[in-house]
Structure 1
Amino acid sequence: MMTTNKLTKTFASGSLAIGVLAGAVLTATSANAASVMSTWGVWTSGTALQVGDKKVTFEQGSITGGFVADPLDDVELMEMGGHYYFIYDATTLGSPDPNFSSGSFTYTIQVINSNKSIVGVDLDSDVSSNYGTVTETFVEVPNVLVSTSGSADPLTGFHPIPPQTLLTVKNTLSNPGSPNEALFQLQNSFHQSVPEPGTILGLLAVGGLGLVSRFKKQK
């Protein structure tokens, strides 16, 4: 289950047919969320996703193991509550069928023009009831995250990592039950650091703004 700091998850339950009709979607829980959405075809052709200080770029030539996505599938980068979410959605109006394939694809998420860093990661997926696994690995850190039959990794919160300004992210789908099992969506979450209060107050003093800053702790 997802915490309130993540996207609310609607699980696909029962048979694959029921899951397809249900649409099994991830939805935002905050009206203040900012996002940019594109199609798989446009994104993999070289048009990056950028929201705030995060940029997500597909790694050309990274598809392996027979992974196939419809060009009209959706990809989205969303910022909510100071955290960022990459979402691959295989069930869209233009391409309603889920993803039955196995294999992998890779992208980078980069912090640009900012003093913040990525300090935590987690993984979630929406799949049919007897699906295999979605695995997330990184070039820069040794973490291996595994979503089994739609479980979240971790079940709550996120896995801390050393501060990073660039992560190379590989998603690997293993679907031994194809074509009777399928993936509807996968979500990679990235939790960022919050600047130290002393640093912010120092900048305010130099600028003579006299503002009072409030900081919320992130999970």
Structure 2
Amino acid sequence: MMTTNKLTKILSGVATLGIATAIAAPAQAATFTVPIVAGGGMVDTVLVNTGSGYGLSIGGMVYDSVVVGDKVFSDFSVVAQVAAGDGLSFILNGGVWTVQYNPAGMGRNQGQLHYQVAITDPTMYFDDVLFDTDISGVGTYKASKEIKTLAGASLLTLESVNGAEAMGSIASDMVQSIKVIDTYGIDSTGTATLLQSSTNDFTQFGTKVPEPGTILGLLAVGGLGMVSRFKKQK
């Protein structure tokens, strides 16, 4: 939990795809779409200050949002030590969407990362959320993740203390768009304890919509039933 990048171990097989994806980025697009191969994909990005906000540099081009499957990540902003030059990786692997924050240099003591996530599939909703951190040094280090609606209502708060994983669910809220606020160094015993990375995992669940043929079939059966009852009444 202290210095090993857990996500890199799990997703080492996807890293090559991420590099190829970054090189292939089109210059004219404001939204970068990660190619999905066998249900997975990855891209590494770098936070950049655009003057009017923050964007993501991919292969030398700057984008304001990243699409991974049916998830759109956008509206990035930072506070305190989180800054331009820090890295963000976006990954889809095994039905889990991951955002990994990788601070530049030796790490970060304090700061915030803000962004939004939207599901484009109208039948899907956010389910489980996992928050995990890697730290270096000694002492106590606490970070938190807050999930809010776009209107600002709080849905879930998770805390990672000394690199521990924290998990919760927002399934009961049936939301398709959320705002994420990751706060680092809420409680730190000194600048010697630094954040090396943070991992955010999102899963989803769906409500299946009947196929058009199924709907027509149900309507036909219902119509036959009404005719049958009408004959009996006669």
TM-score (normalised: structure 2) = 0.63
Aligned CA distance change for structure 1 residues 180 and 205 (closer, same or farther; 3 Å): same
Query: Match of 1:187?
Result: 199
Secondary structure, counterpart of 1:26 in structure 2:
helix
2:81 is the counterpart of 1:67: yes
Query: Match of 2:107?
Result: 98
Equivalent in 145, 154, 163 of residue 174 of structure 2: 163
Aligned counterparts of 1:42 and 1:203: Cα–Cα separation in 2:
47
Query: Match of 2:64?
Result: 47
% identical equivalent positions = 16
Instruction: Give the structure with higher Rg (CA).
Output: 2
| Cα drift, residue 58 of structure 1 | 3.1
2:141 is the counterpart of 1:132: yes
TM-score (normalised: structure 1) = 0.67
CA contact (8 A) 1:36 1:50 kept: no
Q: Report 1 or 2 for greater relative contact order, CA contacts < 8 Å, sequence distance ≥ 6.
A: 1
Aligned counterparts of 1:131 and 1:188: Cα–Cα separation in 2:
21
Secondary structure, counterpart of 2:74 in structure 1:
strand
| Cα drift, residue 68 of structure 1 | 3.0
| Cα drift, residue 185 of structure 1 | 0.7
Partner amino acid, structure 2, of 1:67: Q
Aligned CA distance change for structure 1 residues 54 and 180 (closer, same or farther; 3 Å): same
Aligned counterparts of 1:48 and 1:178: Cα–Cα separation in 2:
35
Secondary structure, counterpart of 1:40 in structure 2:
strand
Aligned counterparts of 1:203 and 1:124: Cα–Cα separation in 2:
42
Q: Which of the two has greater strand per residue?
A: 2
Runs of 5+ unmatched residues, structure 2? 15-37, 56-62, 216-234
Partner amino acid, structure 2, of 1:97: M
Secondary structure, counterpart of 2:166 in structure 1:
coil
| Cα drift, residue 147 of structure 1 | 0.3
CA contact (8 A) 2:139 2:190 kept: no
Aligned counterparts of 1:99 and 1:164: Cα–Cα separation in 2:
31
Aligned counterparts of 1:178 and 1:40: Cα–Cα separation in 2:
26
Aligned counterparts of 1:52 and 1:24: Cα–Cα separation in 2:
24
2:5 is the counterpart of 1:24: yes
Runs of 5+ unmatched residues, structure 1? 1-10, 13-18, 207-219
Aligned counterparts of 1:85 and 1:204: Cα–Cα separation in 2:
36
Aligned CA distance change for structure 1 residues 205 and 147 (closer, same or farther; 3 Å): same
Secondary structure, counterpart of 2:191 in structure 1:
coil
Equivalent in 58, 64, 67 of residue 75 of structure 2: 58
